[in-house]
Structure formats: structure tokens, C-alpha cells
Amino acid sequence: MTDNTYRRILRRERFRSRSASVSIALGLVALGAAYVAVEWVLSFLGQRALLMSPQAAVDGVNSPSVWGVTAAGTAIALGLVVLLLALIPGRRARHTLPHDRLAIVVDDAVLASAIGRAARTEASVPADRVRTTVSARRALVAVTPSSGIAVDKPSVQAATERLAADLAPVPPLRLAVSVLPSGVVGS
Amino acid sequence: MIAGRVSVTPRALESVARGVAAGHLGVEASRVRVQLSDKQGLLAVAIAAPLRSAPFTGADAVGLVTQSEHARANIARDVATLVGAQVGTVSLRVTGIDIVETRRVL
């Protein structure tokens, strides 16, 4: 049971919730439906329409005016936005770490600093000479060497990969180490 | 191995280069100006200093250019050894010649 609960919690933490966009979309749909219903009842009772009677709306569709086209365009744009919100995974900048008794969620910035630390220890450069960026499936490590002291790129790659293998973040990270061509005086 | 690291400031590196250059040029360190920079990952040393020379007489007078070329090579070697960094370029600007009368040893 806990396993399932944890899996669900971790998933919720990794992805953005859609409840806000869903409530807004449903609210808009409800308002639209209510308006159509009101117009229909008014025309049924023979009253004056609020904006446009159902008959006028149907005529508008058959012979579209500028306003009709504009409204349709807006509706299409809105529809695309809603579709995107629904289809895009909505990933947050977080990873989860496997643990048998805890559900661990780590911000990507924290992972980046851990990987950067491993890289700078291996390359023996000061902390500010390593830039690490972590995205969902990739970690980029850029090392600025000290002038005249070559950085062993394969060993930095190996050290960071070892750390990534130890942590085993989900989704897994592919490490890319690069050593900048020009260095900085001092070490 | 103990955690932590040794860091060497650019000032310290410049002092080392200044001392080495002063030794090879035969002048006081205070008259040597040194600038360090990076050249494609290698250390670039720029020196401006006077050169010490014997009076320009006699058959064994070494050409000034040859002498400064030697100094440049030696500076590059010694800086690389002391600092533990690869030296890419050493440029030497001779700002003067110190002519020193070598006293005859009787």
C-alpha cells in the first residue's frame, strides 16, 4: 500500500497539477452553456434576445460576418491553449530518488550542485569554475580550467557519472562534461 | 587524503614569475613587471624588465637578443616547474639595459 501511495505522491510532486486549468476551463464551459440556455428560453418565450437569438446565431454561421470569424478564431486559439495544457506533461524541475522507506523529491538545482561538487573535486578547480545545469534527462557540466593546468575530461565525466549512478535519480540523467578552451589565471 | 584544496591566487603566481624573471635577467625583482593571462588554456607570461649586461667590449660578449632568448626559455621552464602549470607563451619586453662593470679579480 505504501509503495503505491509513495509512487502516487512522487508522481504528483514531479508533475504540475492540472486542477487549476481544469476548473477554469469547466467554469467557462458552464458559463457558455448557461448563456445559450438563457437565450434559448428567451426566444422560446418570445422575449427580446440578450445578445443574439438562436436563429440569428445559426444565420451567422451560414453567412459569417467579420465578428463571427473573429469569434471563431478566438475560440480556436483558446481551444489550442487548452489542448496544449492537457497534452504537455507539465514536468516540474525536480527528480525523485529511490529509497525503500522514504519518498524523496529533489529540486534540479540541488542535483546540479551535487554534480558540480563532484566535478570540481575531480578537476580540482574552485567552485565558481564549474557550471552545472540539470534538465529532465540531461546534466551539462562546463568546467573552466586553471591556466596551464589541464582538466582530465574523461575522469570528470567518470566522477559525475559515478555520482549520478549512486543517486539514481528518476528520470535518469545523461552526463555531458565539457572543458572550456580558455582558462582563468589562478587555481 | 584530507578534504579541501589548495588554491593559488593570481597575485602569488605573478610574484613567482617576477622572482624567476628577475633571477634570469639579473635585475632586482622590484624592477620587473609581470602580467599573467590565459592563452587557450595555457599560461601566458608577459614580462617587462631591464636586462643586465656586461660592457659591450671583448670577444665573449653575448648578443643581447640571444641572451634574452635564453632568459625567455629559462623563465618558461622554471615558472612551469614552480607553479606546476604548462606555460604557453613568454613574451619579454626589454625596457632597458643595465650595464654592470665586472670588477677584475686580481
Tell me the residues of B at the A interface, defined by beta carbons under 8 Å apart: 5-10, 13, 36-44, 80, 83-88
- Only one residue has cell 509503495, namely A3
Burial status of residue B89 (CB atoms within 10 A of its CB: 0-12, 13-18, 19 or more): middle
Q: The CATH number of B10-99 is which of 1.10.3470, 3.40.109, 3.30.70, 2.60.40?
A: 3.30.70
Q: Which residues in A lie closer than 8 A to residue B89 (C-beta atoms)?
A: none
- The residues pairing with A179 across neighbouring beta strands, listed in sequence order, are A143
- Measured at the CA of A66, the angle between CA A60 and CA A72, to 5 degrees, comes to 70
Helix (H) or strand (E) holding B73: helix B64-83
CA distance B8 to chain A (A): 5
Burial status of residue A83 (CB atoms within 10 A of its CB: 0-12, 13-18, 19 or more): exposed
- The residues pairing with B42 across neighbouring beta strands, listed in sequence order, are B39
Cβ of A141: how many Cβ atoms within 10 Å?
26
| Sequence spans of domains, chain A | 17-87, 94-179
Question: B40 and A181 in contact by Cβ < 8 A?
Answer: yes
Tell me what ipTM this predicted complex has: 0.77
pLDDT of B67 = 85
Q: Is the pTM of this model over 0.90?
A: no
CA-to-CA separations, A48 to A15, A41, A55, A59, A97, in angstroms, rounded: 49, 11, 12, 17, 64
* pLDDT, tens only, B3-45: 888 889 999 999 999 999 999 998 999 999 999 999 999 999 9
* pLDDT, tens only, B44-92: 999 999 988 877 666 555 678 888 899 999 999 999 999 989 999 999 9
- Fill in the amino acid letter for A101: R
Please name the residues in contact with A185: beta carbons below 8 A apart, sequence gap of 6 or more: A146, A147, B10, B13, B36, B37, B38, B43
Cβ of B53: how many Cβ atoms within 10 Å?
17
